[in-house]
Structure 1
């Protein structure tokens, strides 16, 4: 009887051991992606001051293994920046904005609709804000990208809407007016992912296209009044000074 019981117990234990899945051995690329994905989630929750030691503990991996893939925190932040920010930039956005067959309003609406869907995710917005509150590393790099690839094109299309073909560098006033549009669209992400507010939508417009269209139209309609009015005032002042001399 004892022999049968012992045999039964051994069989049960063996079955239990077989039922426990062995830990999957990840390849170098898989492990790196796992760490990167965990780091993005970690930083979006705790900010960029979160410690790598704590991140490694949460992942259940050793400190030594973690540093094998990312020897410094800066190396990890560089990868987070590329994965979450620069890596999401679409070359077709530049192609769209350079298409002379489309009018400025259609270009800006189509661009910002796709930009908002692609860029303004929870992780993007929260890490962007956290970095802005600490070392500015990520906002500085991302705005350098925008100043090179985006803002000159948007200013060009704004001038085109105004009937101006000048290729002069964007003025401070042009950039500031443009930042009102760009910042307003980014603020929808802040409202959602920082303040926890839902962005209004409707069954007819679930993607918020109407809201972006309203912002673009308001920007384009204000551009001639603000920029041309400023130019006229400057011309008037210059002529007045010439008369005095």
Structure 2
């Protein structure tokens, strides 16, 4: 006689796999963009959309329903990472003559560095230059107009030099401002490309960079403005 202990065991029924939540179109689009930002930061713009789709867990045709081309996806990433991080208040901060120029520049570059320089922003910016994507050109044109020219103008005012309406700002003068701006970008490159971290307080480092710049820029700028004033008008 067969006892209960000898009877074959019945297997418990498998629990049904939980159904994946279906994203609405806006959610899906935002998810694709967020993953694309991380993907391009890691892989560069050489990364294939089929690999991106696989990483997201969707088909490539579905990705193309939201972004008809890789270029349109890159454009959306540009808007997300570069355009939306720009604070229009920074432009008025640079030109606010109620504050000392050193304080304005230090505050601007502190806020700018915190808002902009991170793993995604820096690596995508470097990759776009290597790949020939126009992110660099578009963004740097904006920096030139919204940051560098105003800095040159404010330096002239601080040093009692002619305004740009009297003597146009030349390329060599702009290079002075590029030097200041580039010093902060290089700090971000060291961290997010070379993986070199620093124990130095970043705000203090920014203040020091601004102080060094202002301590030496006046005689050089004065000479450049005088040379520019001698150039024949076009």
Q: TM-score range by the shorter chain?
A: 0.7 to 0.9
- Pick the aligned partner of 1:215 from 195, 209, 214: 209
Matching of residue 42 in structure 1 with residue 36 in structure 2: no
Partner SS for 1:40: helix
Partner SS for 2:149: helix
Number of aligned residue pairs: give it.
Answer: 224
Quick one: distance in 1 between partners of 2:84 and 2:228?
42
- What whole-Å deviation, never above 9, does each CA across 1:81-104 have from its counterpart, x for those lacking one? 010011110011112123221111
Matching of residue 195 in structure 1 with residue 189 in structure 2: no
Aligned to 2:100: 103
User: Are the equivalent residues in 1 in contact too, given 2:91–2:146 (CA < 8 A)?
Assistant: yes
* Displacement of 1:221: 1.6
Quick one: distance in 2 between partners of 1:159 and 1:200?
35
Matching of residue 155 in structure 1 with residue 188 in structure 2: no
Aligned to 2:221: 227
User: Are the equivalent residues in 2 in contact too, given 1:32–1:69 (CA < 8 A)?
Assistant: yes
Q: Are the structure 2 counterparts of residues 55 and 136 from structure 1 closer, same or farther at C-alpha, using a change threshold of 3 Å?
A: closer
Partner SS for 1:211: helix
Aligned to 1:53: 50
Partner SS for 1:71: coil
* Displacement of 1:29: 1.2
Quick one: distance in 2 between partners of 1:165 and 1:111?
24
Quick one: distance in 2 between partners of 1:5 and 1:234?
94
Q: Are the structure 2 counterparts of residues 230 and 165 from structure 1 closer, same or farther at C-alpha, using a change threshold of 3 Å?
A: closer
Backbone CA RMSD of aligned residues: 2.1
Partner SS for 2:99: coil
TM-score (norm 1): 0.84
Stretches of structure 2 that go unaligned for 5 or more consecutive residues are: none
Q: Are the structure 2 counterparts of residues 75 and 136 from structure 1 closer, same or farther at C-alpha, using a change threshold of 3 Å?
A: closer
* Displacement of 1:71: 0.7
Matching of residue 84 in structure 1 with residue 81 in structure 2: yes
TM-score (norm 2): 0.88
Q: Are the structure 2 counterparts of residues 121 and 66 from structure 1 closer, same or farther at C-alpha, using a change threshold of 3 Å?
A: same
Partner SS for 2:65: helix
Quick one: distance in 2 between partners of 1:120 and 1:74?
24
Within a 5 Å distance, the mapping from 1:116-155 to structure 2 comes to 116-155=113-152
* Displacement of 1:218: 1.4
State which drifts further: 225-234 or 178-187.
225-234
- Pick the aligned partner of 1:75 from 72, 78, 82: 72
- What whole-Å deviation, never above 9, does each CA across 1:140-188 have from its counterpart, x for those lacking one? 1101211222222111222122123513332112110111110110011
Quick one: distance in 1 between partners of 2:100 and 2:46?
45
- What whole-Å deviation, never above 9, does each CA across 1:186-211 have from its counterpart, x for those lacking one? 0111000000000332xxx4xx1111
State which drifts further: 127-136 or 181-190.
127-136
Aligned to 2:178: 179
